[in-house]
Chains A and B, each alone.
Chain A
Amino acid sequence: RKEVEQDPGPFNVPEGATVAFNCTYSNSASQSFFWYRQDCRKEPKLLMSVYSSGNEDGRFTAQLNRASQYISLLIRDSKLSDSATYLCVVPRSGGGADGLTFGKGTHLIIQP
Protein backbone atom coordinates (compact mmCIF):
# COMPACT_ATOMS: atom_id res chain seq x y z
CA ARG A 1 0.00 0.00 0.00
CA LYS A 2 1.28 3.47 -0.88
CA GLU A 3 1.86 5.84 2.02
CA VAL A 4 -1.12 8.00 1.17
CA GLU A 5 -3.46 7.18 -1.67
CA GLN A 6 -6.33 9.19 -3.11
CA ASP A 7 -8.63 8.88 -6.10
CA PRO A 8 -7.44 11.71 -8.37
CA GLY A 9 -10.90 12.27 -9.87
CA PRO A 10 -12.05 14.59 -11.22
CA PHE A 11 -15.31 14.44 -9.32
CA ASN A 12 -17.91 16.44 -11.25
CA VAL A 13 -20.74 17.31 -8.89
CA PRO A 14 -23.77 19.59 -9.33
CA GLU A 15 -24.05 22.54 -7.01
CA GLY A 16 -25.95 21.68 -3.85
CA ALA A 17 -25.09 18.00 -3.95
CA THR A 18 -23.19 16.03 -1.33
CA VAL A 19 -19.83 14.58 -2.28
CA ALA A 20 -17.43 12.33 -0.41
CA PHE A 21 -13.99 11.01 -1.12
CA ASN A 22 -11.61 8.76 0.74
CA CYS A 23 -7.94 8.57 1.44
CA THR A 24 -6.07 5.45 2.53
CA TYR A 25 -2.81 5.53 4.47
CA SER A 26 -0.18 2.92 5.26
CA ASN A 27 1.38 4.14 8.53
CA SER A 28 -0.75 2.53 11.23
CA ALA A 29 1.11 4.58 13.88
CA SER A 30 -0.21 7.88 12.53
CA GLN A 31 -2.11 9.81 15.17
CA SER A 32 -3.23 12.85 13.27
CA PHE A 33 -4.50 13.48 9.79
CA PHE A 34 -5.27 16.52 7.74
CA TRP A 35 -7.24 17.63 4.74
CA TYR A 36 -5.75 20.54 2.83
CA ARG A 37 -7.40 22.45 0.05
CA GLN A 38 -5.38 23.69 -2.91
CA ASP A 39 -6.72 26.04 -5.54
CA CYS A 40 -5.15 26.13 -8.99
CA ARG A 41 -1.63 27.61 -8.85
CA LYS A 42 -1.99 28.44 -5.16
CA GLU A 43 -0.48 27.11 -1.96
CA PRO A 44 -2.21 24.38 0.07
CA LYS A 45 -4.30 25.62 2.97
CA LEU A 46 -5.49 23.63 5.95
CA LEU A 47 -9.15 22.64 5.71
CA MET A 48 -9.56 20.23 8.61
CA SER A 49 -7.60 18.24 11.16
CA VAL A 50 -8.65 14.78 12.34
CA TYR A 51 -7.34 13.31 15.59
CA SER A 52 -9.97 10.88 16.81
CA SER A 53 -12.93 9.40 15.03
CA GLY A 54 -13.83 12.52 13.15
CA ASN A 55 -14.35 16.23 12.95
CA GLU A 56 -17.11 18.47 11.65
CA ASP A 57 -16.88 22.10 10.55
CA GLY A 58 -19.98 23.51 8.95
CA ARG A 59 -20.62 21.72 5.67
CA PHE A 60 -17.45 19.67 5.97
CA THR A 61 -17.08 16.41 7.87
CA ALA A 62 -13.92 14.36 8.13
CA GLN A 63 -14.06 10.82 9.48
CA LEU A 64 -11.32 8.44 10.49
CA ASN A 65 -11.44 4.65 10.31
CA ARG A 66 -8.30 3.36 12.01
CA ALA A 67 -9.15 -0.31 11.52
CA SER A 68 -9.29 0.10 7.74
CA GLN A 69 -6.75 2.92 7.69
CA TYR A 70 -8.69 5.48 5.77
CA ILE A 71 -10.04 8.94 6.28
CA SER A 72 -12.90 10.48 4.39
CA LEU A 73 -14.05 13.99 3.59
CA LEU A 74 -17.73 14.75 3.15
CA ILE A 75 -18.93 18.04 1.71
CA ARG A 76 -22.63 18.82 2.04
CA ASP A 77 -24.58 21.41 0.05
CA SER A 78 -21.61 21.95 -2.23
CA LYS A 79 -20.85 25.44 -3.53
CA LEU A 80 -19.14 26.55 -6.71
CA SER A 81 -16.36 27.87 -4.49
CA ASP A 82 -15.66 24.34 -3.25
CA SER A 83 -14.08 23.54 -6.62
CA ALA A 84 -10.45 22.76 -5.80
CA THR A 85 -8.03 19.92 -5.24
CA TYR A 86 -8.28 18.28 -1.81
CA LEU A 87 -5.09 16.86 -0.39
CA CYS A 88 -5.00 14.12 2.21
CA VAL A 89 -2.02 14.58 4.52
CA VAL A 90 -0.42 12.24 7.06
CA PRO A 91 2.66 12.94 9.24
CA ARG A 92 5.64 10.97 7.96
CA SER A 93 6.80 9.50 11.24
CA GLY A 94 3.48 9.33 13.02
CA GLY A 95 4.26 12.47 15.01
CA GLY A 96 5.21 14.80 12.21
CA ALA A 97 8.81 15.44 13.19
CA ASP A 98 10.07 14.97 9.66
CA GLY A 99 7.35 16.53 7.68
CA LEU A 100 4.17 15.44 6.09
CA THR A 101 3.27 12.95 3.39
CA PHE A 102 0.79 14.34 0.92
CA GLY A 103 -1.56 12.41 -1.24
CA LYS A 104 -1.68 13.40 -4.87
CA GLY A 105 -5.02 15.05 -4.34
CA THR A 106 -8.61 14.64 -5.46
CA HIS A 107 -9.81 17.18 -8.00
CA LEU A 108 -13.36 18.40 -7.33
CA ILE A 109 -15.40 20.40 -9.82
CA ILE A 110 -18.74 21.83 -8.71
CA GLN A 111 -20.96 22.54 -11.67
CA PRO A 112 -23.74 25.15 -11.72
Chain B
Amino acid sequence: NAGVTQTPKFQVLKTGQSMTLQCAQDMNHEYMSWYRQDPGMGLRLIHYSVGAGITDQGEVPNGYNVSRSTTEDFPLRLLSAAPSQTSVYFCASSYSSGPGNTIYFGEGSWLTVV
Protein backbone atom coordinates (compact mmCIF):
# COMPACT_ATOMS: atom_id res chain seq x y z
CA ASN B 1 0.00 0.00 0.00
CA ALA B 2 2.75 2.44 -1.02
CA GLY B 3 0.72 5.39 -2.43
CA VAL B 4 3.09 8.28 -3.20
CA THR B 5 6.73 7.62 -2.41
CA GLN B 6 9.36 10.35 -2.24
CA THR B 7 13.11 9.97 -1.92
CA PRO B 8 15.29 11.10 -0.31
CA LYS B 9 13.54 12.17 2.88
CA PHE B 10 16.43 14.39 3.97
CA GLN B 11 19.21 15.97 1.90
CA VAL B 12 21.86 18.60 2.44
CA LEU B 13 23.30 20.23 -0.66
CA LYS B 14 26.00 22.77 -1.25
CA THR B 15 25.19 25.89 -3.25
CA GLY B 16 25.57 25.18 -6.94
CA GLN B 17 25.09 21.43 -6.71
CA SER B 18 22.36 19.70 -8.63
CA MET B 19 20.13 16.89 -7.51
CA THR B 20 16.91 15.08 -8.27
CA LEU B 21 14.04 14.46 -5.90
CA GLN B 22 12.30 11.26 -6.86
CA CYS B 23 8.55 10.75 -6.76
CA ALA B 24 6.67 7.59 -7.65
CA GLN B 25 3.03 6.59 -7.29
CA ASP B 26 1.49 3.17 -7.72
CA MET B 27 -2.16 4.23 -8.03
CA ASN B 28 -2.15 4.77 -11.81
CA HIS B 29 -2.88 8.45 -11.28
CA GLU B 30 -2.67 10.75 -14.29
CA TYR B 31 -2.13 13.97 -12.39
CA MET B 32 1.06 14.63 -10.44
CA SER B 33 2.52 17.77 -8.99
CA TRP B 34 5.31 19.18 -6.85
CA TYR B 35 4.85 21.71 -4.06
CA ARG B 36 7.25 23.42 -1.74
CA GLN B 37 6.32 24.49 1.78
CA ASP B 38 8.13 27.27 3.57
CA PRO B 39 7.39 28.68 7.03
CA GLY B 40 4.63 31.26 6.85
CA MET B 41 4.16 30.74 3.10
CA GLY B 42 1.91 27.73 2.77
CA LEU B 43 2.33 25.20 -0.02
CA ARG B 44 3.22 26.63 -3.42
CA LEU B 45 2.96 24.77 -6.72
CA ILE B 46 6.27 24.30 -8.57
CA HIS B 47 5.37 22.11 -11.57
CA TYR B 48 2.58 19.76 -12.48
CA SER B 49 1.74 17.10 -15.05
CA VAL B 50 -1.64 15.96 -16.36
CA GLY B 51 -0.22 12.81 -17.92
CA ALA B 52 2.87 11.11 -19.28
CA GLY B 53 4.79 13.43 -21.58
CA ILE B 54 2.93 16.56 -20.43
CA THR B 55 4.27 19.02 -17.88
CA ASP B 56 3.59 22.64 -17.07
CA GLN B 57 4.79 25.34 -14.72
CA GLY B 58 3.13 26.27 -11.50
CA GLU B 59 3.51 29.30 -9.29
CA VAL B 60 7.25 29.04 -8.49
CA PRO B 61 9.00 27.07 -11.30
CA ASN B 62 12.31 28.92 -11.52
CA GLY B 63 15.33 26.80 -10.69
CA TYR B 64 13.48 23.50 -11.15
CA ASN B 65 12.93 21.09 -14.03
CA VAL B 66 10.56 18.17 -14.32
CA SER B 67 9.82 15.41 -16.77
CA ARG B 68 7.12 12.74 -16.98
CA SER B 69 8.32 9.83 -19.06
CA THR B 70 6.02 7.33 -17.32
CA THR B 71 2.70 7.55 -15.52
CA GLU B 72 4.32 6.39 -12.28
CA ASP B 73 7.31 8.74 -11.97
CA PHE B 74 7.61 12.51 -11.72
CA PRO B 75 11.13 13.57 -10.68
CA LEU B 76 12.00 17.13 -9.71
CA ARG B 77 15.46 18.38 -10.64
CA LEU B 78 17.26 21.23 -8.96
CA LEU B 79 19.64 22.56 -11.58
CA SER B 80 21.98 24.64 -9.40
CA ALA B 81 20.90 24.66 -5.79
CA ALA B 82 20.57 27.97 -3.97
CA PRO B 83 19.94 28.66 -0.26
CA SER B 84 16.50 30.03 -1.24
CA GLN B 85 15.56 26.49 -2.26
CA THR B 86 15.89 25.26 1.30
CA SER B 87 12.40 23.97 1.91
CA VAL B 88 10.17 20.95 2.37
CA TYR B 89 9.08 19.47 -0.93
CA PHE B 90 5.89 17.48 -1.37
CA CYS B 91 4.96 15.40 -4.36
CA ALA B 92 1.25 14.80 -4.92
CA SER B 93 -0.93 12.77 -7.23
CA SER B 94 -4.60 12.32 -8.06
CA TYR B 95 -6.65 10.26 -10.49
CA SER B 96 -7.29 13.32 -12.65
CA SER B 97 -7.07 17.07 -12.37
CA GLY B 98 -10.80 17.64 -12.10
CA PRO B 99 -12.50 18.89 -8.96
CA GLY B 100 -13.44 16.25 -6.48
CA ASN B 101 -10.39 14.11 -7.03
CA THR B 102 -8.62 13.45 -3.77
CA ILE B 103 -4.99 14.48 -3.87
CA TYR B 104 -2.53 12.22 -2.12
CA PHE B 105 0.76 13.59 -0.86
CA GLY B 106 4.07 11.92 -0.33
CA GLU B 107 5.70 12.20 3.07
CA GLY B 108 7.90 15.08 2.01
CA SER B 109 11.56 15.69 1.30
CA TRP B 110 13.47 18.04 3.61
CA LEU B 111 16.13 19.87 1.63
CA THR B 112 18.76 22.17 3.08
CA VAL B 113 21.08 24.15 0.80
CA VAL B 114 24.17 25.55 2.50
- Is A bound to B? yes
Q: Is the interface of B mostly helix, strand, loop or mixed?
A: loop
Q: B91-114, CB under 8 A of A: which get 1 and which 0?
A: 000000111111101111000000
**In the complex, which residues of chain B have a beta carbon less than 8 angstroms from the beta carbon of A104?**
40-42
Interface of chain B residues 34 through 70 with chain A (CB within 8 A): 35, 40-45, 48, 50, 56, 58-59
Q: Is the interface of A mostly helix, strand, loop or mixed?
A: loop
Within the complex, the shortest CB–CB distance from B43 to chain A, in Å, comes to: 4
Does A87 interact with chain B (Cβ within 8 Å)?
yes
Does B74 interact with chain A (Cβ within 8 Å)?
no
CA A32 to CA B35, docked complex, whole Å: 20
Chain A residue, CB-CB nearest to B6:
A43
Number of B residues with CB within 8 Å of any CB on chain A: 25
* Contact-residue bracket for chain A: 20 to 34
Interface of chain B residues 72 through 90 with chain A (CB within 8 A): 90
Within the complex, the shortest CB–CB distance from A39 to chain B, in Å, comes to: 11
Contacts from B to A (Cβ < 8 Å): 33, 35, 40-45, 48, 50, 56, 58-59, 90, 97-103, 105-108
8 further interface pairs, Cβ-Cβ under 8 Å (given A46-B102, A51-B99): A32-B100, A43-B90, A49-B100, A96-B97, A96-B98, A96-B99, A97-B50, A99-B33
